[in-house]
Structure 1
Amino acid sequence: MPYLSYEEPGIVVILSLTSFLLLLNVVRYILDRLLYCGIIGQILIGIIWGLPVGGTSWLTEGNQETIQAFGYLGLICLVFEGGISTDLAQLRKSVYISISVATIGLLMPIALSFILIALPFSSSSGTAYPTALAAFSAGASLCSTSLGTTFAILSSAGMQQTRVGVILVGAAMMDDVVGLVMVNIVTTLGSGDMSAWPIARPIVASFGLFLVTLAIVPYLLKPIWIWLVQCTQSEVQTSSLTEKKSNLREILIKPVRRVPHLKFILSILVLIVFVTIAAFIDASVLFAAFIAGGLINYLWNVGDVNSAAAPGDSTAMGMYEDYFKAVMDYILVPFFFASIGFSIPITDMFEGSIVWKGIVYAIIMIIAKGLVSTVIYAEYFFRIWRGPRKSTTQRSTPQEQESSNEKIPHMEALLVGFAMIARGEIGFLIASLSQSSGTLSLRSSDGSSSESSGEAIFLVIVWAVVLCTIFGPVSVGILVRRLKKKGASFS
């Protein structure tokens, strides 16, 4: 049959989808009001409505796959919003701190995951222990911060433009790129092919896309954007146009001038082009979406003579709120976090030995990611140490005197540490690939034999991913609520 015949959906399907969509938004609203962690409620709704709880699936597998696809579209647009709303000047100033945060956040989970080697697991041949390869695969699953969760936390807490928010954005973007590398490493280790290029390709392609964009912006993208924007404003600028203007240019400008919502259409085209290029060159699609958002953020007011007259109506963020915000807040982003819930094998996770190992491993992974807060303290003490050295050679400025008197940034460090704890979509992806590729292997206590039945290790990893994804947003929500009660501002 070369077409899909139209059939009226049954009342069960209608009620399931309606209750699912309604509860996603109601639970998010309640938890955001209480602790700024509505995404946790959406993940729990995804678990309940997914496959299967109590032997009954409230959503069919086809519905879940559709919701997952729309959810990933929501994730792309959420990262696109992050690029639009990020203070690019602040990001440039904080890039070294973001790199340090990302580096510690990537290395510590992998290093501490080798503790798993000491945990006993039951196998067909008796008691067995995870191999070093299994421990590395577990660390790879827990080394990347959930980009979607990070942006959702920043958005719900109103931290996008703060220094903490900018540091988190930079670190989470680097985590996402390295997460893709980890996906390739795990797949390569499972297949036995140790060639370097498949492993290095995602990071080379991602940063290559970034560098090429930086190179062509002033010479190609910026002039094209200015010309298109000025075409739409040619009626306003009629008095300044000379009578010698060619008819050919008028013919070219008129169709462009008639296009409604031109800036929105251009923004969508930029996003589509960058995401498509990233997919074809094996770069990070989410990193490409962030680059597209940052590019729109930079170009938005270039060549716009009306931007000074109506600054509130002509910002890139204003465009996002007009065209994206409603469908993102109430449909696409809830679908994304619910799809994380779909990925949790909840019915297999509550065996006693799995539960305690999962909780212990989750605590270790919380500590591992929480160590990124030491970067904030190190940066603070470095500034304090550098201040007196400058003052011995030259008179200190008021800004330097103020920085020398500032308090130790405990709250800023806690916010960065807790916000980086959440894992999510990348963690589930790498864990699933590790299981399917056979890297989650066990060895006997004497080391004489090994087997690739990694179901138990996989469930321990899932426990850690789930608990970290819950703990991070809840902790940030408690801190933000406490700050707002005190009337303090974010750093």
Structure 2
Amino acid sequence: MSNVPSSTTYPYEPPTIVEVLILSSYVYVLNAVGAIFETGIHADLVGYLVVGMVYGPPLGNIIPTAWLQCFTSVGYIGLILLVFQGGLVTDLYMILPNIALSLCIAVTGIALPIVLSIAYIPFALDYTFLQGFAAGASLSSTSLGTTLAVLSGNTRASATRYEEKAAADGVASSDNGPIDIRKTRLGTVLMTAALADDVVALVLAAIVPKLEGDGFTWRAVVRPVLVSVAFVICIPVLSKFIVNPLLRRATRWDYTRLRATAAFKIIATYFSRDGVYLLVLVGILSGFVTGASYAGTSELLGAYVAGCWLRATGQALLHPPASETQMPLTEPAVLSTFTAQAALPKRDTTVDEVADPFTIIFERYIELILHRILAPLFFGSVGSSIPFLNLWRPARVVWQGFVFSVLMAIGKAAAGIWWLVWPRRGANDDPSSKLSRKTGALFIGLALIARGEIALLVASLARSILQQEPGGSGTQEELYAIVMWGTLACTVGGAMGVGAIVSRMR
């Protein structure tokens, strides 16, 4: 018997009852407090942030330090899935006609916070222009994960309330149900702009730490931008002209002509089950996220593009071109699982009438664990990283942080003006077309205010710049605390504002 070094083994030790109680109570309290905040202010993620601060180092310090990194890693999977779900409900045919509007909103939402920060930090607080730029860069992002969490949370809450009311009134719950804003033109423009903000913010995250030394290179700026553009342009082109035609041919092949061996019957049986779609979904998502990370751009961009790609692919399978619908084909083995739920629609059938197979699989197997475990853990870990007590001392940090928060909120909210002045185009049957321009502009402005994880990331990377001794009487920690004030206030205020206006819109 060989002697295995003890360093290569991990002895199993059951957790203590205290650890079990801490873990179970943390997961339960996250969901319970989130439900309370969802009912009260229509923003469950604010409850997650509060629980994260109470259980984490900022206040109670109940969670062991070794668990925090685990929760952060597991929660980041939730962030990726939230962004992926946003892509999965996005209609590519709605993105392209509105790409110019989305980019104008994104550029305005990035530039104005930086300009206002440079105007406020050096002149009002006597810091340097570099510190003003670093503070503005930290607040230039828009948390796509936060925005999607608020929208999906309100969608689920509205759907639940509608079904309960329909059941009480004896009305079919499928008629005139609540609007999923993520599937409207308004939601598509918002998500595209927020994603562009995040990509630029991640580029700034690579630039800001190098500004105080000689480490700055143009490669750090150009590479993420070029890779992001390549992802956005090349993947839809490859999907439309290569992947989708091959998939349509593969799924509509008459497999009865093949020799029915025992091995083939087993494979064909499994191929008609949900497992294959789930395997493809996980494989595509993992590949896109990994490829985006190693290529030098945001993993969130890879997740969003993966969702859009699978949405387009699933719809391409359900909506074949007119020339292919005339072919005498047998029922696709791949789609046989879903024919019991919805027959193959005609080409002019709307997206909402028949869900594509990947959306069905996501809702069936992933959505529940995402919104009950993974997303709460992510926002709880964000709350655990906020230095809450440092935000209140010295006293002048409070009013300085409040003024900075207001300026950063104005900088993002002003981007919603583009919705007011932009010529309205598109189908009149889009649900968001029934809203007034002022309501749509207010919705976009409030949704862009929420920062979140990327703001914390950029601020952490720029901490050495923010902590430099100012020319005035401030201490080294004050400017960093002011930036944290802006991040926390905008995230909470933006989430509450979006929740309130979405509930009114419905």
TM-score (structure 2 length as normaliser): 0.81
Q: Output the amino acid matched with 2:308.
A: G
Q: Establish whether residue 206 from structure 1 lines up as the match of residue 204 from structure 2.
A: no
**Structural mapping, 1:330-369, within 5 Å:** 330-351=372-393, 352-369=395-412
AA partner of residue 463 (structure 1): W
Match of 2:270 among 258, 263, 285: 258
Deviations 1:167-224 (A, max 9, x none): 1110011011101111011022133223211122111112212222123223442245
Q: Distance in 1 between matches of 2:45 and 2:112?
A: 26
* Aligned mate of 2:300, from 286, 292, 312: 286
1:341 maps to a residue whose letter is: G
Shift in alpha-carbon separation, 1:93–1:15, aligned structure 2, 3 A: same
1:27 and 1:83 map into 2 onto residues whose CA distance is 28
Give distance in 2, aligned partners of 1:17 and 1:197. Answer: 44
**Higher mean Cα deviation, 24-33 or 285-294?**
24-33
CA offset at residue 444 of structure 1? 2.4
What residue is the counterpart of 1:76 in the other structure?
80
Counterpart among 106, 109, 114 of residue 110 in structure 1:
114
Give, as a single letter, the amino acid of the residue that structure 2 aligns with 1:24: L
Conservation of the 8 A alpha-carbon contact between 2:113 and 2:139? yes
Q: Which amino acid aligns with 1:199?
A: V
CA distance in 1: counterparts of 2:360 and 2:46, whole angstroms: 28
Amino acid at match of 1:268: V
Q: Is the 8 A contact 2:404 2:486 kept in 1?
A: yes
Aligned pair partner of 2:12 in 6, 20, 24: 6
- Residue 185 (structure 2) pairs with residue 163 (structure 1): yes
Say yes or no: does 1:131 pair with 2:128.
yes
- 1:377 equivalent to 2:374? Answer no
Offset from partner CA, 1:247-297 (integer Å, 9 cap, x none): 699988964653441111111110011111111111110010011001110
CA distance in 1, matches of 2:424, 2:243: 38
CA distance in 1, matches of 2:424, 2:302: 33
Supply the distance in 1 between the matched residues of 2:310 and 2:140 (Cα, whole angstroms): 30
- Cα distance in 2 for partners of 1:99, 1:415 equals 17
Does the 8 Å CA contact 1:190/1:439 hold for their aligned counterparts? no
Answer yes or no: is 1:175 the counterpart of 2:181. Answer: no
Q: In the alignment, which residue of structure 2 is the partner of 1:61? A: 65
- Distance in 1 between the 2:499 and 2:141 partners? 21
Query: Counterpart of 2:89?
Result: 85
Q: Does 1:15 align with 2:21?
A: yes
Letter in 2 for 1:294: C
Secondary structure in 1 matching 2:312: helix
Gaps of 5+ in 2: 1-6, 156-180, 319-331, 343-353
Q: Superposition pairs for residues 239-258 of structure 1, below 5 Å?
A: 241=257, 255=267, 258=270
1:268 maps to which of 279, 282, 291 = 282
Q: For the residues of structure 2 that align with 1:100 and 1:301, how far apart are their CA atoms?
A: 29
Whole-angstrom CA distance in 1 between matches of 2:70 and 2:38: 26
1:101 aligns with 2:114: no
- 1:184–1:322: structure 2 CA closer, same or farther, 3 Å change rule? same
**Correspondence 1:138-153 to 2 at 5 A:** 138-153=135-150
CA apart distance, 1:347 = 2.1
Cα separation, 2, equivalents of 1:337 and 1:207: 29
Counterpart residue number, 1:123: none
Q: Structure 2 residue aligned with 1:430, among 458, 462, 467?
A: 458
Q: CA deviation at 1:145?
A: 0.3
> Per-residue deviation at 1:410?
1.3
What RMSD in Å do the two structures reach over aligned CA positions?
A: 2.9
Q: How far is 1:332 from its partner?
A: 0.2
- Checking the alignment, whether the CA contact within 8 Å between 1:86 and 1:166 is kept in structure 2 is yes
Change over 3 Å in CA distance of 1:271–1:406 after alignment to 2: closer
2:61 maps to amino acid: S
**Counterparts of 1:250 and 1:303 in 2: how far apart (Å)?**
28
1:457-484 alpha-carbon deviations (Å, 9 max, x no partner): 1110000000000000111222223333
Aligned residue identity for 1:145 = T
How far apart in 2 are the matches of 1:341 and 1:138? Answer: 20
> When the two structures are aligned, how many residues end up with a matched partner?
441
Post-superposition Cα deviations, 1:286-344, rounded to whole Å, max 9, x if no partner, equal 01001100111011144464466633575432211111111101100001111110110
- Letter of the 1:345 partner, please give it: P
Find the counterpart in structure 2 of residue 392 from structure 1.
none
Does the 8 Å contact 2:466/2:479 carry over to 1? no
Q: Distance in 1 between matches of 2:356 and 2:219?
A: 44
The 3 A distance-change label for structure 1 pair 206 and 250 is: farther
- The equivalent of 2:341 in structure 1 is 310
Does residue 326 in structure 1 map to residue 332 in structure 2?
A: no
1:475 aligns with 2:481: no
Deviates more, 1:291-300 or 1:474-483: 474-483
1:217–1:383 distance in 2 versus 1, CA, 3 Å? closer
* Residues 374-419 of structure 1 deviation map (CA, whole Å, 9 limit, x = unaligned): 111111xx459xxxxxxxxxxxxx97xxxxx988511111111101
**Structure-1 separation of matches of 2:39 and 2:127:** 43
Q: Which moved more, 1:111-120 or 1:367-376?
A: 111-120
The residue matched to 1:143 in structure 2 has which SS?
Answer: coil
Residue pair 1:340, 1:425 contacting (<8 A) in 2 also: yes
SS in 2 for 1:149: helix
Whole-Å separation in 1 of the counterparts to 2:340 and 2:97: 30
How many Å apart are 1:25 and its aligned residue? 0.7
CA contact (8 A) 1:101 1:372 kept: yes
Contact 2:74 2:374 in 1 (8 A): yes
